[in-house]
Amino acid sequence: MMVIRPVKASDLDGLMELARSAGVGLTSLPVNEERLSARIARSEKSFSGEADLAERGYVFVLEDTASGRVGGICALEAAVGLKEPWYNYRVGTIVHASEELDVYTRHETLFLSNDHTGYSELCTLFLHPDFRVNKNGGLLSKSRFLFLAQFPEMFGKVVVAEMRGVSDAAGNSPFWEALGRHFFSMEFAQADYLTGVGQKAFVAELMPKFPVYIDFLPQEAQAVIGQTHDNTRPAVAMLHSEGFRYEGYVDIFDAGPTVQAYTRDIRAVRDSRLLAANVGDSADDATGFYLVSNTGFDGFRVLLAELAPGADSVTLSAEQAATLNIKQGDVVRVVALSPKETA
């Protein structure tokens, strides 16, 4: 059985295996024991209540309970930009008008922005190729929404997620080549890596402080602003189905879109219900796949089950109940895996 749970120190070897399979593109999951150990330690401090708001980051892993193998990772940052600046571009408009000449023009521009400071962030989502079956991707990604629903006071009113922008097979970004390279004098991969590991001060030091006129960029760079990499489109579609929207913010390096939603309006947060758990035989009249979590904090658990939820209860197998660390009559949080499922 697959279960989502908080990361722990003994997961280091499993995270290293994930990092090796992820390659160099996921900067928040490096093949580096020291950095991964620090990430685990920060998560453990967050779950224990020892971390300040600016430091709180909650990391979860997907575990195969039969083998103990770690098959995926996902995370939630409680509040971005409070310790290290969190930059993006806001796509805006500047109007130039002259009544005397009867001229009126609108120009799209890029403004360096810290508008998302204090918002929460979905991040570090990766599923090992061996585990990309049986709806594990949906379980891994959407499990975080049940954590948000259970502990809304721990997070911001808005949740954001940065999507990978357009680049070619060699990792070259047309937006970076047109803009960033002129200010940073380094390769795209290096700049992206530095921001991924938290070294972001150089962004404010080197980026232009005035609006960038999009009209001045080459056409190939203009075309990718707010567009996602082909491999990222399924993730964007999932977030759109949960209520996330592109609101005109893009990454400063590859111009990939940042999507956002009010926490309370995320479909899986809004529609989740607290129900009593019955422990017994699985229902024969299951209506669809549901995410089911316990209500613990540092002992938080989520699994995926085929269920037929009633008005005030849900029936779980003895194995499912044991995996969630619950017993007969305990309260669980339940939501359909996708909007298409019957709630």
Mean pLDDT of 252-270: 95
Mean pLDDT to the nearest integer, 161-172: 86
Residues in the chain: 343
Average pLDDT for 143-163: 97
β-strand pairing of 302-307 with 70-77: unpaired
- Annotated active-site positions, please? 229
pLDDT confidence bin for 170, thresholds 50/70/90:
confident
Spatial distance between the Cα atoms of 132 and 306, rounded to a whole number of angstroms: 19
> Which of 25-29, 166-170, 194-198 has the weakest average pLDDT?
194-198
Class of the domain covering 271-336? mainly beta
CATH no., domain 1-77+121-154: 3.40.630.30
pLDDT band at 343 (very low <50, low <70, confident <90, very high): very low
Q: Which of 332, 301, 293, 336 is nearest to 314 (CA)?
A: 332
* Residues 233, 138: Cα–Cα separation, whole Å: 14
Domain ranges of the chain: 1-77+121-154, 83-116+157-269, 271-336
The CA angle 6-7-11, to the nearest 5 degrees, is 150
Query: Rg of the Cα trace of the chain?
Result: 22
pLDDT tens-digit profile of 185-224? 777 777 777 766 666 667 767 777 789 999 999 999 999 9
C-alpha span between 63 and 46 (Å, rounded) = 20
| Cα–Cα–Cα angle for 246, 249, 255, rounded to 5 degrees | 105
